[in-house]
Structure 1
Amino acid sequence: MTYANCPRCGGRLARDNDSGRCTPCQAAERDRLSAPPMVPASFWQHEPLRQALAERHLGRVIRAYRCHPYHGRVALPQTVVAGWLGITQAQLSRVENGPPLVHLDRLTHWAQLLRVPAGSLWFRLPGQGCWTDASPMDGEAISAHRDDQVVERGERAPVTVNVEQAASQGGGATDRRRFNVLAALAGLAAVGHTYLLPRPPAEGPGSIGMEQVRLASSLVDDLRRADAAVGADLLCDVAIQAHTRLSAWAARASYSRQVGDALQSALADLSIEAAWLAIDADRRSEARPYLHEAITRARIADDPQAEVRALTHLSLLIRESQPGESLHCAEAALRISTGWATPRLTTLLHLRRAPAYAVLGDVGGLSREMAKARRELDRGPHEDDQGFVHFVNAQELNGIEGLSYLALGRPERAVQSLRAITANPSPSHRRNQVYYTVRLSEATYQQGDVNEAARIALDVLPAVRQINSKRVSQHLAQVRRSLAAPRQATTSTRQFVDAYDRAVNV
């Protein structure tokens, strides 16, 4: 008689074994209630899984995963897998049977949790970014790499844009900016964003499907990664141009109601990213219309998460000019996010309110918001954290506290908070690290220690040149103007001023 074999190890099953798994394999996976099991590479070649991956529907991938014969004759219960994913059984049922997920944060988190091979996915996992992490000092190159899960293999070669070479072509600043924008758009097209390439309106596709929406969502992720590598100055025009093209396409194309809601959310995210890049490039007047558009699109799509993101950025944008309205924006975001906000998001919203109170001169309000922010941050990260809150950490909290005390005219207290950042740097958030170091130099100068201010500014000067953030550069320029005053002349201040002037004139 031929007995059935265990699908996990291939061993023969006992005649009375009705579980579909041998005893050792059952023992090896008793912890499956808490985490997915390790599976062999052949697991992903099962036809239902291959089909679900080809359909680019993660819910169907999860269903095929649960029903895989590797797990035995009985499929994994939805309650078990929902526990792995941090959702309810009812939510998992909707994910499996509803429309495809389009939010990259959740797609990447669940794909990593289930250990889906990266080569089988239609989106990039963290660490597979299309932009290189090379320092801009090494030829100032921005490189965009093809995603073989989006663009067919062999279709395009990687596109590399050298900023120094671009700046030497075309003569004027307008021509250089246009060259950089078009070159960067070509790089984004090389990783699947072909709808961004220049084309007459009549040549654009007449309809939009969920695949195009997913690409539009991944564009925001690409821009965020590029921003972390090369700074906003080089990307602001790229984001604005991409937003213009995608919005124009969406206005003339046809799509279903389901696609329309997802498209509105994707356009809201792109508007928010364009606004942030405008803020960091110190083009603040251009940012507000994008945030208002994002709020409108989020409401059309009934997407409270996008609305909260837009309000969070709007609170930051108007903090100095309209601190009272800034408080209202953050308060509205807190109200909308009640019931689903993660600790990090709540921390960020309190950190938006704290410096607004400082601008208003309300020390009590500042202290209350900082205490709430610390309490929330101590609760730790959450699997539902959105991508835009990943910079919220202890360093950011200290930085906001330092800026708030600067606004209150208490530089000694600001120095204490900002110095804690340089003592415990956060390498994964380099731009923020550089920004707060420049502000530390500014606070130290206001405290009266010109030599220490010059030393800090001199040390951070090379990093400021690398990150291409006009917001940061202008603060350092202000430090230079302060230290260049004749009454401040010392060996240290002259050394910094000379180094700064040489760097600027190179």
Structure 2
Amino acid sequence: MFRIPSRFLWFSLPGRSIEVAQPDVATVKEVGPAFRPALTDADTTASDQGGGTTDRRQFHALAALAGIAASGSLDLLAAPTDAPRSIGTEQVSYAGSLVDKFRRADAAVGANQLCDIAIRVHAQLSMWAAKATHSRDVGEALQATLADLAIETAWLTIDANRRVEARAYLNEAITRARFIDDPQMEVRAFAHLALLTCQDRPGESRHSAEAALRSSAGWGTPRLATLLHLRIARTYATLNDMSGFNRAMSRAQREFERGANEDDMPFLHFVTAQEIKGIEGLSYLALDRPERAADAFRTITENPSPALRRNRIYYSVQLADAACRQGNLDEAAHTAMNLLPEIDQVSSGRVSRLFAQVRSSLGRPQRSTAASREFVEAYDQAVKG
């Protein structure tokens, strides 16, 4: 575990460094429940690029949660300073390793506070790339690292429900990937752009996924093709095109059945049978088929993926929403009630927003049942607490 010398930090360290092999519930609870309002007191710092604040008293716990610290030679988490005169492979390699740390922490607990850390690291590394000297090889590696970090930062802003910030990072990633002729990085960026735009710009989303399919022809793995066909399927659903949705889902399923590959890119770890069911459920909601959506989401809750806790909770909330739309108010209320003990274990703006919508739906007078009233009361009490 790397460590940040205390003289470089803009927050106070406790008596000793915290080493965290993986996120745990106790650390997450220190960050705070996902559906509570963000902290707003005088002891916050705005991120250097973009919105959001990070409470200084929480930052050390958050960095440990992500498994992030730094060596004395790589001050990516310290307060902004002048760029070093030169950087080498050691610094670039460490910066690159942060992406995997962000990815693993995000899968477990969500993106809300991790997002600000990623934005800060990206801003610092971008400044170094613009001002520091380096060899040609280091320069290419730095461009790749910045593209990788920009894509991960974009995803974190999406999960933190700060979607408006994501596009700039994805556009940057595409540009940097082209600088160094890296088709894999460009395909990743287009896959995330398809996700970002699937609801409000489904046409652009489909074009982005199809561009990624064309670019990956000849080297793409079945898991990558699965993801891209899932992205396309969801855009057809948003456009209320059932036949297009069915075709794309069938292609995704066929690719998935070809199995994993040693050449799969690390970010594809979430492309599982559960994810296929999740996209199927989201698509059926878009097609106004809540009963089919609920069936898909139940499959996930009955066969959860332990490594993807945030995704499991997200799709469980989607089950409550689908059941509510279906008119099965007691199932919706019971599902939501069972999630209350877990919801503060993730810090995801997407999950928070959807959970609040479920509470709002179940709180309508015309939908009042004993179960819905019990959930609404418990939810409101948890928010106040």
Find the counterpart in structure 1 of residue 54 from structure 2: 177
Find the counterpart in structure 2 of residue 381 from structure 1: 260
Does the aligned pair in 2 maintain the 1:192–1:215 contact within 8 Å? no
Find the counterpart in structure 1 of residue 195 from structure 2: 316
d(CA) in 1 for partners of 2:89, 2:144: 12
Task: Report the TM-score, using the length of structure 1 for normalisation.
Answer: 0.66
SS in 1 for 2:84: coil
Q: Relative to 1, partners in 2 of residues 1:171 and 1:140: Cα closer, same or farther, differing over 3 Å? A: farther
1:405 counterpart = 2:273: no
SS in 1 for 2:68: helix
Q: Relative to 1, partners in 2 of residues 1:303 and 1:140: Cα closer, same or farther, differing over 3 Å? A: same
2:244 to 365, 370, 373: 365
Which residue identity is paired with 1:177? Answer: T
Matches within 5 A, 1:415-430: 415-430=294-309
How many residue pairs get aligned? The number is: 353
Q: Relative to 1, partners in 2 of residues 1:213 and 1:499: Cα closer, same or farther, differing over 3 Å? A: same
Q: Relative to 1, partners in 2 of residues 1:206 and 1:392: Cα closer, same or farther, differing over 3 Å? A: same
Find the counterpart in structure 2 of residue 140 from structure 1: 28
Find the counterpart in structure 2 of residue 67 from structure 1: none
Does the aligned pair in 1 maintain the 2:151–2:192 contact within 8 Å? yes
Q: Relative to 1, partners in 2 of residues 1:445 and 1:210: Cα closer, same or farther, differing over 3 Å? A: same
d(CA) in 2 for partners of 1:200, 1:348: 37
Aligned-pair distance for 1:193? 7.6
**Once the two structures are superposed, what CA deviation does each residue of 1:377-434 show, in whole Å capped at 9, x if it has no partner?**
1111111111110110110000100100100101111111111111211111111111
Which residue identity is paired with 2:179? Answer: I
Find the counterpart in structure 1 of residue 341 from structure 2: 462
Aligned-pair distance for 1:205? 2.4
**Once the two structures are superposed, what CA deviation does each residue of 1:446-500 show, in whole Å capped at 9, x if it has no partner?**
1111111101111112222211111011111101000001111111001111111
Does the aligned pair in 1 maintain the 2:320–2:332 contact within 8 Å? yes
Find the counterpart in structure 2 of residue 224 from structure 1: 103
SS in 2 for 1:177: strand
d(CA) in 1 for partners of 2:20, 2:212: 32
Aligned-pair distance for 1:229? 3.2
Which residue identity is paired with 2:78? Answer: P
Name which structure has the greater RCO, CA cutoff 8 Å, separation 6+: 2
Find the counterpart in structure 2 of residue 395 from structure 1: 274
d(CA) in 1 for partners of 2:248, 2:73: 41
Find the counterpart in structure 2 of residue 486 from structure 1: 365
Structure number, greater radius of gyration: 1
Matches within 5 A, 1:62-461: 131-136=20-25, 138-140=26-28, 162-163=30-31, 171=42, 177-179=54-56, 183=60, 184=62, 188-190=68-70, 194-198=74-78, 201-202=81-82, 204-461=83-340
d(CA) in 2 for partners of 1:193, 1:222: 19
d(CA) in 2 for partners of 1:383, 1:497: 47
SS in 1 for 2:24: coil
Which residue identity is paired with 1:379? Answer: R
Using the aligned pairs only, state the percent identity: 55
Find the counterpart in structure 1 of residue 350 from structure 2: 471
Aligned-pair distance for 1:254? 1.0
Does the aligned pair in 1 maintain the 2:151–2:170 contact within 8 Å? yes
Does the aligned pair in 2 maintain the 1:351–1:370 contact within 8 Å? yes
Gaps of 5+ in 2: 1-18, 33-37, 47-52
Find the counterpart in structure 2 of residue 498 from structure 1: 377
Aligned-pair distance for 1:277? 0.4
Does the aligned pair in 2 maintain the 1:132–1:229 contact within 8 Å? no
Does the aligned pair in 2 maintain the 1:298–1:306 contact within 8 Å? yes
Aligned-pair distance for 1:372? 0.5
SS in 1 for 2:211: helix
d(CA) in 1 for partners of 2:207, 2:310: 28
Does the aligned pair in 2 maintain the 1:318–1:325 contact within 8 Å? yes
